[in-house]
Structures are given as structure tokens and as C-alpha cells.
Amino acid sequence: MTAVEGTATSTPVGSPAAPAEGAAEPNAGAVRLRVPASSANLGPGFDALGLALGLYDEVSVRLTPSGLTIDAVGPDSVPADEAHLVVRAIRATFDELGLEQPGLELRCVNRIPHGRGLGSSAAAIVAGVVAADALAGAPLGPDGRLRVATAIEGHPDNVAAALFGGLTVAWYESAVPRALRVTPAAEVRPVLFVPAVRQSTEQARGALPDRIPHVDAAVNVGRAALLALALSGAGPAAATGRERSRLLFTATEDRLHQPYRLPSLPASADLVDRLRGAGIPAALSGSGPSVVALAVGGGEAAAAIGVPAPGFSVIPLTVDTEGVCVETIDS
């Protein structure tokens, strides 16, 4: 598969990209995609930082003259009609490109747990946007893909990580989403703790106050900047091993969202406390309820895995450095 490369500088959502010259409908064919999970926020980087993870959904999309067929495999139930998020993203992208809506055959292998703060919706949206763009001859490119995916998702942190891989920093300029990709240090070993219960993003956002103290905002600015630097493979020369872990431990402190979300997630709150009590950098993954430990090296990853986590599945992972990958398959 080919990894999708690039960073984002694009036009506003209200300005559709021009369709390929002379095209009124997408090209015939089929594509297969692999899309990573992602952990957003990572403590202080609220709605800005995202880390792509080595846990993947796989999606195949084939154009047909009419109709819709969906074959989904995975532990979570998903709609088998036009409400399916991949289908919605495909339709939105074809509309954005000014192309006719084709029939679709969709096959999904879903490995990213839904409703756990691991970017499952972002992965589905990115799969649909990139599939449609690839089938149309790729007129959007990386910038347009970020723009369309963010418009569907509502925030850019997870979709940026799923698109570009690695650590991404996302922001808006004049309401236009943009993102930069940073290659994380190879010694960073994320460990996920995934509970059986779900948490809706909307419910989690409802717990946030309209205003926060200025001192809390100031602390988070420093922590988020430190986090990006400590995770980066091009960070401080001294930031290896124990020193990197020490920096990450400090950098994963948060005052913007976790203090307001964790009271409704007592098991997650207890696990974050136990991991941090063991000296391991840990935070909610996205809005929760999953927890991510940003271990440094195999020894710290093993220590994280050894922390008691009743009610959680423990998943040691790598950082995904490619982002979404797409290839054309025989139609």
C-alpha cells in the first residue's frame, strides 16, 4: 500500500475543490485501505495533539452502477445502510468534488474499539474520504483530505493522526484546519488500557466548563509544548531513556479536560493514578474511557503492562508512522 504523505494548508470547507477536468462521475474501480487508530490529547494537547497507533481498520471500497452492499467484520455493531460512517464520508467527498454518487460495495474489518477514545470514528471518516478521493483520481490531495475529514468529524486531532501518521499537531487558521507531522522517537512504546464500557465524545465534551482559570491555561501551554518536544525523535539530545520518560511524565499532566472528565470515569481515573504512581507517563486517550501509557523502552512498557488494571484489556502497541495507506485493487 502507498502511505499518504503531506501536511495541511487548504481552502475553507465552503469552497468545494474543482472536480477533475471533464469528469462527472468517479473513476470505475476499487481500492483497499488500512487506517490507524489514534490517541488524541495525550494529556494537555486538547483538540490539538494526536498520536497514530499500530492498530488498524481495513476497508475495501468497490464502485458499482447502483445500490449499497456492506460486509462488516468486528466486535462492534455498525449500520448496514447509508448511515454507515465510511459510506457517509464517501458520499460527502463525492459531493465535495461535484461528482455523481455511484453504487458501493464496502467491506470493513474493524479492529479499533468503538466509543473508547481511540479514534474509531476518525479512522472510518478518513477511510471514506481517502477512498473517494483515490477513486476520483486524487484531486483533493492531503490538504483537501484533512479539510473534508475535519468537516465531518468536527475536530482535526484524530483525523490528522489517521491521515499522516506519527505525532500530529493540528490547528485552525481562519477556520481552515491545518496539521504538521512529527516523527516520534523510536523508543516510545504506547500501551493501551481499553475497558469494556463506552463513552460518547458528545457526553465527554458536555462535562467541560465554558471557562477555565488563566493559570490552568498557562500550565497546559507549557505542558503541551514540552510533550511535543519530548515525544519527538528530533527532540532534546539528552531526552533518551529515563530523561525522556521524566519529561513525558511531567508533560502528560493536564488541567483543561481530565479534571472535569475523570470524575465520571472512576475506573479510568484510578488507573491513571496507579500508572502515574508507578512513575509511568499516562493520560486519558482522547475523551476516554481508555487510558494510554507513553512508555519509553521495553522495560517501562513491561512495567506499565504489569500495573493492575481490572476491567481493562491491555494492548501494547507501536506508533504508526505511515498514516492511512491506500492501494488500487482489481475491479
pLDDT of residue 197: 87
- CATH superfamily for 188-316 is GHMP kinase, C-terminal domain (3.30.70.890)
Domains of the chain, by residue range, sit at 2-7+29-181+320-329, 188-316
Give ∠ CA 306-310-312 in degrees, rounded to 5. Answer: 85
Q: What is the pLDDT along the chain (331 residues), one digit of tens a residue?
A: 655 444 433 322 233 344 444 445 776 699 999 999 999 999 999 999 999 999 999 999 999 999 999 999 987 778 999 999 999 999 999 999 999 999 999 999 999 999 999 999 999 999 999 999 999 999 999 999 999 999 999 999 999 999 999 999 999 999 999 999 999 999 999 999 999 987 666 665 677 888 999 999 999 999 999 999 999 987 665 567 889 999 999 999 999 999 999 999 999 999 999 999 999 999 999 999 999 999 999 999 999 999 999 999 999 999 999 999 999 997 5
Rounded to 5 degrees, what are φ and ψ at 173? -125, 115
pLDDT tens string 240-282 = 788 999 999 999 999 999 999 999 999 999 999 999 999 999 9
User: In the chain, pLDDT over 90 holds for what percent of residues?
Assistant: 81
- Dihedral angle of Cα 38, 43, 49, 52, to the nearest 10 degrees: -20
- Three-class SS of residue 134? helix
pLDDT tens string 275-317 = 999 999 999 999 999 999 999 999 999 999 999 999 999 999 9
Handedness of CA 320, 322, 324, 329 (dihedral sign): negative
End-to-end CA distance of the chain: 16
pLDDT of residue 328: 94
CA distance 242 to 90: 45
- Domain 2-7+29-181+320-329 and domain 188-316, same fold? Reply is no
Do 63 and 99 form a contact (C-beta atoms < 8 A)?
no
Q: What is the pTM of this model?
A: 0.90
The CATH classification number of 2-7+29-181+320-329 equals 3.30.230.10
